């Protein structure tokens, strides 16, 4: 590492989750180059990291020669998960969205300075052909690796977001676990974790004092309440958990994330008992059931309050989509410290 500063090549950079994780880990790291093809994500990234060399381009255009000029020590990346997700076609390596990752595997043996890799993807990747190709390439390049399935709940964050992670490094094996055995918690990894300072319930992650106008923007419509009340995952401010927020949050009602009872002075069970008698939506209105705001979702995902925000031109739908495609900053930050033995 030049000047003892960790040089990061950030691929599939999205809205900067890996960058924020590296900053939070406080390991003396610098993102020297960042790449993504998603225009909307790049606008958010550049809004928050204007000094970073961030480019909108296809990763398949990157050559070993270009990367070697950057002299990166570590590749941090979150490749497209659609080829492996439970709601996708699961085409695996046959999916066109794997082509850039396959290109990277061809380039990796020719990278002169890269000795560390941190990768995130969806659960399901661990049984894919792409995973087998990836780990085979890592072994051929003399990397040791460990694989994880982790959720933010393991570090006391009240949100479920179970994801696959892989850490790889050269020179020395990891002092814990073994290859081909999935690790499902942070215990015995020997590193300090980046736990949330907000607390274990949802309340500290929520925006305070929403105006009536702001609240109205997030309230569930009568149509949603009457049609989907049976499947809504309703949470209270005092709850210590919430469902994973996906890119389809607010667009689809089922399986895309929790909703919040904004008015905690009302009894949820009493209101729903009255509603079930005649299914008149008015019976539910006092609960003020609403969607979590993008800021609240970002809080649960570890994005810093003061240093992360969306450009004013980013639509609400796009905010949710980009967050749903992102990662938990605190989990990745802890994994980076594990990778470096901190």
Residue 68: give its domain's CATH number: 3.40.50.150
Residues 88 and 111 in one domain: yes
* Residue 318 within a domain: no
Residues in the chain: 342
- The proportion of the chain whose per-residue pLDDT surpasses 70, expressed as a percent, equals 94
Q: What residues contact residue 312 under an 8 Å CB cut-off, 6+ apart?
A: none
pLDDT band for 96, please (50, 70, 90 cuts): low
Mean pLDDT of 252-258: 93
| Cα–Cα dist 21/235, whole Å | 27
Residues 191 and 268 in one domain: no
Contact 95, 138 (CB under 8 A): no
* Residue 311 within a domain: no
pLDDT tens digit string along 7-59?
A: 999 999 999 999 999 999 999 999 999 999 999 999 999 999 999 999 999 99
pLDDT tens digit string along 146-167?
A: 999 999 999 999 999 999 999 9
Residues 189 and 279 in one domain: no
Q: Output 83 or 263, whichever has higher pLDDT.
A: 263
pLDDT tens digit string along 119-134?
A: 999 998 898 888 999 9
Residues 187 and 40 in one domain: yes
Residue 255: give its domain's CATH number: 3.90.120.10
* Residue 231 within a domain: yes
Residues 175 and 217 in one domain: no
Predicted pLDDT at 93: 47
Give catalytic residue positions: 81
Residues 118 and 243 in one domain: no
Residues 36 and 98 in one domain: yes
Strands 144-150 and 234-235: unpaired
Dihedrals φ, ψ of 13, to 5°?
-70, -20
Torsion, CA 149, CA 155, CA 159, CA 164, rounded to 10? -20
Task: Give the domain range for residue 58.
Answer: 2-195+328-339
Predicted pLDDT at 43: 98
Residues 38 and 147 in one domain: yes
Residues 23 and 44 in one domain: yes
Q: Mean pLDDT score of the chain, rounded to an integer?
A: 92
Mean pLDDT of 224-230: 92
Residues 162 and 215 in one domain: no
Residue 10, CA distances (Å) to 140, 187, 247 in order: 22, 27, 21
What's the structural domain count of the chain?
2
Predicted pLDDT at 89: 47
* Residue 64 within a domain: yes
Residues 160 and 225 in one domain: no
Residues 13 and 153 in one domain: yes
Torsion, CA 196, CA 123, CA 45, CA 293, rounded to 10? -60
Strands 163-169 and 116-122: antiparallel
* Residue 226 within a domain: yes
């Amino acid at each position: 590492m030049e000047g003892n500063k960790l040089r990061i090549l950030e691929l599939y950079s999205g809205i900067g989750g890996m960058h924020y994780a590296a900053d939070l880990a406080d390991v003396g790291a610098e993102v020297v180059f960042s790449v993504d093809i998603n225009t909307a994500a790049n606008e958010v990234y550049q809004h928050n990291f204007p000094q970073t060399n961030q480019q909108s381009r296809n990763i398949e255009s990157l050559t070993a020669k270009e990367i070697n000029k950057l002299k990166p020590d570590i590749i941090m990346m979150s490749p497209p998960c659609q080829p492996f997700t439970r709601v996708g076609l699961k085409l695996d390596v046959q999916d066109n969205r794997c082509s850039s990752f396959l290109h990277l595997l061809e380039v990796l043996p020719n990278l002169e300075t890269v000795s560390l890799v941190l990768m995130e993807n969806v659960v399901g990747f661990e049984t894919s052909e792409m995973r087998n190709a990836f780990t085979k390439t890592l072994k051929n390049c003399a990397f040791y690796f460990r694989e994880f399935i982790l959720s933010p709940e393991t570090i006391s964050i009240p949100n479920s977001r179970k994801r696959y992670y892989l850490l790889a490094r050269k020179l020395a094996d990891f002092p814990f676990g073994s290859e081909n055995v999935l690790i499902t918690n942070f215990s015995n990894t020997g590193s300090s974790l980046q736990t949330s300072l907000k607390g274990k319930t949802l309340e500290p992650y929520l925006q305070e004092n929403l105006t009536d106008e702001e609240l109205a923007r997030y309230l569930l419509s009568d149509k949603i309440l009457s049609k989907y009340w049976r499947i809504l995952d309703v949470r209270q401010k005092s709850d210590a958990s919430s469902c994973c927020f996906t890119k389809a949050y607010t667009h689809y009602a089922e399986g895309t994330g929790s909703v919040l009872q904004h008015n905690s002075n009302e009894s949820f069970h009493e209101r729903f008992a009255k509603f079930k008698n005649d299914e008149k939506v008015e019976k539910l209105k006092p609960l003020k059931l609403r969607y979590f705001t993008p800021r609240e979702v970002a809080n649960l995902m570890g994005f810093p309050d003061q240093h992360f925000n969306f450009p004013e031109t980013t639509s609400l739908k796009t905010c949710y989509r980009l967050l749903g495609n992102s990662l938990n900053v605190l989990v990745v930050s802890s994994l980076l410290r594990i990778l470096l033995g901190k």
